Structure 1
Amino acid sequence: MGENVQTLPYGSWPSPIDAALAAAHDGRPEFVGFVGDEVWWTEPRPTEGGRRTLVRRRNEDVRGEAPPLKGGGGRRAGGTEESVLDAPWNVRSRVIEYGGRPWAGTVQDGAPLVVFVNFADQRLYRYEPGGEPRPLTPVSTLGGGLRWADPQLVPERGEVWCVLEEFTGDGPSDVRRVLAAVPLDGSAAEDRGAVRELTGERHRFVTGPRLSPDGRRAVWLAWDHPRMPWDGTELVMAEVAGDGTFGESWTCGGGPEESIPQAEWAADGSLLYVSDRSGWWNLYQADPHRGSRPLCPREEEFGGPLWKVGQRWFAPLDSGLIAVLHGRGAAALGILDPETGEVVDAVGPWSEFDATLAAHGERVVAVGAGPSSAYEVVELDTRTGRTRVIGAAHEDAVDPAYCPEPLIRTFSGPGGRDVHAHIYPPRNPGCRAPDGELPPYVVWAHGGPTSRAPLVLDLEIAYFTSRGIGVAEVNYGGSTGHGREYRNRLREQWGVVDVEDCAAVALALAEEGTADRARLAIRGGSAGGWTAAASLAATDVYACGTIIYPILDLTGWGTGETHDFESQYLESLVGPLAEVPERYAERSPAEHADRITAPFLLLQGLDDVICPPVQCERFLSRLKGRGVPHAYLTFEGEGHGFRRAGTMVRALEAELSLYAQVFGLAPAGIPTLELDT
């Protein structure tokens, strides 16, 4: 150890990573796309009320070539990037509440033409640089109003085609979804009748249409309650007449037990789509001559769970090659040759790629990150194999020596089943712990639960590890990235398998001498908040927990207390409510508040329609008078997923204070969280 290394207890190490720094770097670029040959994307602005702006990257090279990125394989590009929409414009859709692709663009008369959804009023707007955005769609005061997502510009018709979500009443499930065409001339801005509906209401949920190269056919994805899109979706096709109307639609793929999360047309007119019919999301090609065939049959995922309408795991190139995201666990960026089935991966320091891809000519744009870098916009030139960062370039906010070096591990759960996890040991170049002391560890349960924790640099994790608190992210049974069988482990087992797997990792870390058995905690948000609360109610593994915008009462959540998209999710996660109502009560932490004895912190956005505050209030009322130390912090203006810097700062500092009080730590400069009993 160096001469200036202090010997201090775990959890009290001084760190340059404060909560404000972590909050300022929260979020990622998303929804990349091309406008002509320029790359555009959305990007978070936590310090501007949590809005998302639209960023444009101009191509001119004004700074010259920059040095190679750390790790090799990538270079920073020249050119400039600019936010094209000032506050308060907020480019974000609320379709299915989780949203979807909120913008599309093209070049018309030599200048960019962009349409986007504004979060505050959910109207679709037309924007041309140098002018003010102009509304294209009307406002409805009924329920959640009119919402739009996954727009596709059809300039030859003077329209933008997209998903229309229209509320028909005040209830969360009083809603219809169809494909619709919106005139680009603004004639529908005050006239709902000027919106041309392309499809009927055959299905409850739809994605945006994809028009074939010859303009004669359109495909989209659809599914119905009680299925979620990772359970089963249908690939729907319709003939498109010369006047832009859709003929009768038919199902050409998918089904109740086959998930198709994306479909696109190739340049040659064949249809490409991802399906998990083999047990893994693989890529298929369908054409009239060869039928449907897998292009690269592997026990890997070439797709993922469709949480946002318009996510993209592959993008066809004009050359016939296909840009793909693929892998087990983490997704790599590669180029697939559909004739040989060979995949050549892009070279660079990025080990994770988000489900957003775009292609133009021979260029591919993606959003990648790694254990030592946050998400950045990456361009791959398929002719040269060269990759470079073109936007949201990662810059070390602190000395990387304060950031954790994660380990990818597989643990043994009940019955010997594999449990995948990322372990982030404490790390601080200026501190060491006294001999014989073991660090506290916090188990992080991801949301979803049909999702996974990516292995990327996260300053929220570094906030804890740099102070001497370890973090274990558990991709419990039910997580994505490991095939349908692993995903299906959670069917009717939510609150059991996730709880058991998190506990198995925590106890294994303690047993092997990595973590202090007496100083284990659990935290999670949304579905992870459920797992955290259920773990405190069902096990004695943890000394405390942090529960963030959680589900706490299954019966309430399954009978109208959430939004339409997930309103029947519990039918597969827990079981049919009509058949096993007792299971809903038995697993709910709100029904068993008397079992919770460990201190906890509960964090909730007051505008959350997915996991509403009423769940927290019911849980706390049943805990009243039981003497359990706890704190309940609520945040005005926050929905599901905190986006404002001030909120994130307060939440992080409160969480650290909880651990300090329970574990006997002494972090400097952190306000003390008042705990009630």
Structure 2
Amino acid sequence: MGRGDEVLTSAYGSWPSPVDAALAAAHDGHPEWVGFVGDEVWWTEPRPAEAGRRALVRRTAEGTEEVVLPAPWNVRSRVVEYGGRPWTGAVRGGTPLVVFTHFADQRLYRYEPGGEPRPLTPVSTVGAGLRWADPHLDLARGEVWCVLEEFTGDHPGDVRRVLVAVPLDGSAAEDRSAVRELTAERHRFVTGPRLSPDGRRAAWLAWDHPRMPWDGTELLVGEVGGDGLLHGVHTAAGGPQEAIAQAEWSADNRLLYASDRSGWWNLYRDGTPLCPREEEFAGPLWKPGLRWFAPLDNGLIAVVHGRGASVLGIVDPESGEIVDAAGPWTEFAATLAVHGGRVVGVGASPRTAPEVVELDISTGRARAVGARHQDAVDPAYYPEPRIRTFAGPDGREVHAHVYPPHHPERAAPDGEAAPYVVWAHGGPTGRAPLVLDLAIAYFTSRGIGVAEVNYGGSTGYGRAYRERLREQWGVVDVEDCAAVARALAEEGTADPDRLAIRGGSAGGWTTAASLTTTDVYACGTIVYPVLDLATWGPGDTHDFESRYLESLIGPLGDVPARYADRSPTTHADRLTVPFLLLQGLDDVICPPAQCERFLARIEGRGLPHAYLTFEGEGHGFRRAETMVRALEAELSLYAQVFGLDACDVPRLELNP
């Protein structure tokens, strides 16, 4: 049937769709870590078809895009397991000089076009070795300053993190002692140092267990001595109850930072608020090197800001006024770079996938310059989101994006309510961005609705909303997702008998907790989850999140029963609906052992389920074949449980 013909009536979930799993997988991921190398814009972007590697890409002066390093080079750091900014670059002697982390061995490499990458750092056989992130070139000293994560033993907690200077001449490639540590080991976690323009001072962020960086961080400043070390280190801002998310220096050597001391992440200069608003100018620091603002040479500041979705704007620090960039992009990621009067970021919208966007502040013109969005299918099949606020328990606000079933040539019979899947985002300190996602289109174009819930604990709505989850993980998130699902059913949008829930990582926890403590859902998809709190802590998961539960649940020594009471594994006997469990076998954040203990608790109960594991995948699927298998399995689960016609995907075998 061609476009423009009569709309046909057919049941939800049976609509033919051009968005197949392979197409969705090919467009998974987004460009990130933008930067300038001379006048050129560089960034990293995913390659799902190349074993999920991250490629380094440049936009040449002619406007063409070139992959800088061929496979198998993979520009990706493993610092704190989630990674951090993995590269930096500059032009020296007319030639680009780039330093990057290679994922396979986590060494820093130096690369100049026309040559081969040369290692700058050694390999360590101790524990998980040496890892590097958030690099910054200091060409005057012939060094790259960055974060070193150094494992000192085989236990996940046997690790130290310090600021270091790595020589660019390669003298540390086989010699750990040639890596110069810039400060004493003062804190458990640090971000990369930012040198002031005059080279006299450096600023960085630090924090310690049990705090996460969105709980409280310190902004540290030190003087750069003649020996190249940092002296007189002191706390300039922040503390246990104040989260500094980013710090930079202005062109006139004044200290800029984003703090949530007012209840919102706002901008400050030398302690004075620049643009006080009840909106966010930063976000959760999951990775060293995330950048929500960037000072320009003329004194203006490029910012990513908003309440919920975040847009790109320019702040005048003298007046506090903001002028937002014009264009179709309604969501910008936490990566910015500036050069002269040019600002580069990554923008997207519900109609456009993330792309590299450049703003010329002299003209106000913004345009896509890299990873440009190209419609993979007719945009008529794209989801059409509705931004909604629901009432949760006690009348509290719950933010969500609702994507109804949508197809240009199909409609459901009158009176039929749609099946819906509630999506719980990961983190849980995070947020579902309002951007085009072909994985969502995969379902909506077939007649299955999706509701992304930014439950209490999500970012983008101020610190009070974020802290609703404090000691309430497994309660507030579960209640808020259920409130959205029930509201959609009560208003007739969703079929109350055909509701599902899905999520990965912390969203996998919320999914499993929802299935074991509520009767709202007919099935669920649990992806690389936390399932057993007693075995997800120091020694069982990576160091970064090993004490996260102290804020999400409470100190184990104080509330041991709560750890058992909240865990889906404890309540596996309450599970009565079919489920799909997806797990990467190389996941060190949520290890497969979590899934295995959960499955052991339901063994012999005759509960329909499937457990799919994937070799070579860690926390977050990156390979095209994995994503295809996972999406098709998920659709098959819903088709079987909801009674849908999904003959175009392999049938998922559900084991009793």
TM-score (norm 2): 0.99
Q: Name 2:393's counterpart in structure 1.
A: 414
Q: How many angstroms does 1:429 deviate by?
A: 1.0
- After TM superposition, the structure 1 = structure 2 runs for residues 72-87 of structure 1, keeping only pairs within 5 Å, are 79-87=63-71
Which letter maps to 1:637? G
Q: How does 1:159-198 map to 2 (within 5 A)?
A: 159-198=143-182
Does residue 217 in structure 1 map to residue 201 in structure 2?
A: yes
Instruction: Choose from 31, 44, 47 the match for 1:45.
Output: 47
Corresponding residue number in structure 2 for 1:526 = 505
1:208 aligned onto 2:189 = no
Q: State the TM-score, normalized to the length of structure 1.
A: 0.96
Answer yes or no: is the 8 Å Cα contact 1:548–1:603 preserved in 2.
yes
Look up the SS of the partner of 1:517 in the other structure.
strand
Name 2:473's counterpart in structure 1. 494
1:557 Cα offset (Å): 0.2
Deviation digits for residues 632-670 of structure 1 (CA, Å, limit 9, x no counterpart): 000000000000000000000000000000000011311
Is the CA contact 2:157–2:538 (under 8 Å) kept in the aligned structure 1?
A: no
Partner letter of residue 12 of structure 1?
A: S
Q: Deviations over 1:195-231 (max 9, x none)?
A: 1111121100000000011111111000000000000
Match of 2:82 among 82, 98, 122: 98
Task: Tell me the equivalent position of 2:515.
Answer: 536
Structure 2 matches for 1:26-175, cutoff 5 A?
26-60=28-62, 79-175=63-159
CA distance in 2, matches of 1:347, 1:246: 42
Look up the equivalent residue of 1:489 and give its one-letter code.
Answer: R
SS in 2 for 1:590: coil
Name the CA distance, whole Å, in 1 between partners of 2:587 and 2:629: 18
Contact 1:161 1:209 survives alignment (8 Å):
yes
Match of 2:605 among 599, 608, 626: 626
Aligned partners of 2:232, 2:298: CA distance in 1, in Å?
Answer: 32
* Contact map agreement 1:552 1:589 (CA 8 A) in 2: yes
CA distance in 1 between partners of 2:573 and 2:399 (Å): 31
How far off is 1:109 after superposition?
0.5
* Matched-pair contact (CA < 8 Å) for 2:478–2:510: yes
TM-fit CA distance, 1:316: 0.2
Match of 1:306 in 2: 285
Any residues of structure 2 matched to 1:264-413 within 5 Å, and which? 264-286=248-270, 292-413=271-392
User: CA shift at 1:416, angstroms?
Assistant: 0.1
User: What letter matches 1:496 in structure 2?
Assistant: V
Give the aligned residue type for 2:305: H
Matched length? 654
Instruction: Work out whether 1:444 is the aligned partner of 2:423.
Output: yes
Give deviations 1:450-508, integer Å, cap 9, x for gaps: 00000000000000000000000000000000000000000000000000000000000
C-alpha separation between the residues in 2 aligned to 1:305 and 1:270?
A: 24
CA distance in 2, matches of 1:187, 1:562: 34
Q: Summarize deviations over 1:73-107 as a string: whole Å, max 9, x none.
A: xxxxxx11111110000000000000100000000
Letter in 1 for 2:287: K
Aligned partner of 1:239 in structure 2 is 223
In the TM superposition, structure 1's runs of 4+ consecutive aligned residues that sit over 6 Å from their partners are none
Q: Deviations over 1:8-40 (max 9, x none)?
A: 110011000000000000000000000111110
Whole-angstrom CA distance in 2 between matches of 1:672 and 1:561: 35
Query: Shift of the alpha carbon at 1:613?
Result: 0.2
Tell me what 1:254 maps to: 238
Sequence identity percentage = 79
- How far apart in 2 are the matches of 1:37 and 1:84? 16
Give the deviation of 1:242 after TM superposition: 2.2
Q: Distance in 2 between matches of 1:109 and 1:169?
A: 42
Amino acid at match of 2:122: P
Number of the residue aligned with 1:578: 557
C-alpha separation between the residues in 1 aligned to 2:21 and 2:272?
A: 50
Q: Aligned to 1:635, which of 607, 614, 617?
A: 614
Q: How big is the shift at 1:343?
A: 0.2
Q: Secondary structure of the residue that 1:529 maps to in structure 2?
A: helix
1:325-357 CA deviation, whole Å, 9 max, x = no partner?
111000010000000000000000000000000
Specify the code of the residue in structure 2 equivalent to 1:259. Answer: A
Q: Are the counterparts in 1 of residues 307 and 460 from structure 2 also a CA contact under 8 Å? A: yes
**TM superposition shift of 1:243:** 2.9
Q: Is the 8 A contact 1:11 1:665 kept in 2?
A: yes
- Alpha carbons 1:14, 1:668 under 8 Å: kept: no
> 3-state SS of the aligned residue for 1:589?
coil
Deviates most, 427-436 or 201-210: 427-436
Q: Deviations over 1:414-441 (max 9, x none)?
A: 0000000000000111211112111100
Secondary structure at the residue paired with 1:379? strand
Match of 1:431 in 2: 410
Structure 1 vs Structure 2 CA RMSD: 0.8
CA distance in structure 2 between the partners assigned to 1:528 and 1:26 by the alignment:
18
Secondary structure in 2 matching 1:113: strand
User: 1:4: Cα distance to partner?
Assistant: 3.8
What SS does structure 2 have at the residue aligned with 1:522?
A: strand
Q: What one-letter code is carried by the residue in structure 2 that aligns with 1:567?
A: S
Distance 1:152 1:43 in 2: 20
Q: Give the drift of 1:404.
A: 0.9
Which secondary structure does the structure 1 equivalent of 2:637 belong to?
helix
- Paired with 1:181 and 1:345, the residues of 2 have a C-alpha distance of 37
The 2-side partners of 1:502 and 1:626 are apart by 27
> Which string of whole-angstrom CA distances, capped at 9 and with x for unpartnered residues, describes residues 252-299 of structure 1?
11000000010000001101000000000000001xxxxx21000000
State the partner residue of 1:75: none
- What SS does the aligned partner of 1:179 have? strand
Deviation at 1:3, TM superposition (A): 3.9
Does structure 2 conserve the Cα–Cα contact (< 8 Å) formed by 1:14 and 1:467? yes
For the Cα contact (< 8 Å) 2:238–2:259, is it kept in 1? yes
Equivalent position to 1:230, from 209, 214, 234: 214
Return the offset for 1:245: 1.5
1:559 Cα offset (Å): 4.1
CA distance in 2 between counterparts of 1:561 and 1:528 reads 19
Letter in 2 for 1:88: P
Q: Which residue of structure 2 aligns with residue 551 of structure 1? A: 530
- Paired with 1:606 and 1:200, the residues of 2 have a C-alpha distance of 37
Structure 1: how far apart are the matches of 2:383 and 2:230? 54
Between the aligned partners of 1:56 and 1:597, the Cα distance in structure 2 is 52
Q: Matched residue of 2:513: which SS?
A: helix
Match of 2:576 in 1: 597
Q: One-letter code of the match for 1:592?
A: H
State the alpha-carbon separation in 1 of the partners of residues 204 and 95 from structure 2: 29
Asked if structure 1 preserves the Cα contact closer than 8 Å seen for 2:156 and 2:538, the reply is no
Aligned to 1:608: 587
Aligned residue for 1:517? 496
CA-to-aligned-CA distance 1:521-571 (integer Å, 9 cap, x gap): 000000000000000000000000000000000110024211000000000
Letter in 1 for 2:596: E
* Alignment partner of 1:657 is 2:636: yes
Map 1:473-484 to 2 at 5 A.
473-484=452-463
Aligned-residue offset at 1:244: 1.1
